[in-house]
Each structure stands twice: as structure tokens, then as C-alpha cells.
Amino acid sequence: MILDDKIVELNSDGYLKNIDDWSEDIAIKIAKYENISMSIEHWHVIRLIRSFYLKYNISPTMRMLIKYIADHQDKKLQLNSSAYLFRLFPKGILKQATRIAGIPKPNQCL
């Protein structure tokens, strides 16, 4: 992937090879590839996923993610429902959101 004349390497599954290459511009480009137009809710989830990864050094499971969002979300946003998250990331919350967040593919993602 090329962004502003910088080459950013992806693995064969489309995840960043180096988490430090992530930026909001990269996230927007990956989201566009995933047919996702980033909203406030999308950004909130992406930032929480990155926060989780940077804190625990693992990609979250679905249960971990729902709990973490419930504990850290902006109370005006109702993001702690898996059904709502699936509307935001229709091809799979963990698959699409972790890819956009620039963190490694979760172990339970096929």
C-alpha cells in the first residue's frame, strides 16, 4: 500500500506488517478498501481496539472487545452491543476493525 509516497507493507491477509506504520490516513485507506465510510462511531471503536492492543499486547476476542468498549465508551454512543458493532463492521467486527486499527489478526479470525 502506498500513502503519500510512503510504502506501507501488508501481510497476505491485508493486516499491517508493522503496527507503527498505522495512522488515521492509513485507517481511512484500509476502511475504503473494506467499503466502510468512517463515522464517529467507527473511529471510537478503532481507537478503543488500538488502546486495548497497546495495553494488553494482544488482539481482543469478541467478548473482551465488548467488555472493553462497555467500560471505556463515550456514554452518548451505544456501542456495547455486538449487533450494533456488526452494523458498523458487516464483514466481521474482529476482522475488519482490527485490520483498520492496524493491529495483528486475532487468533480466532479465519
Neighbours of 37 (CB within 10 A): 8
Distance CA 101, CA 90 (A): 16
Considering the candidates 19, 62, 64, 109, report the single residue annotated as catalytic: 109
Look up cell 497497546; give the residue.
Answer: 54
6 is catalytic: no
- Residues acting as catalytic residues: 109
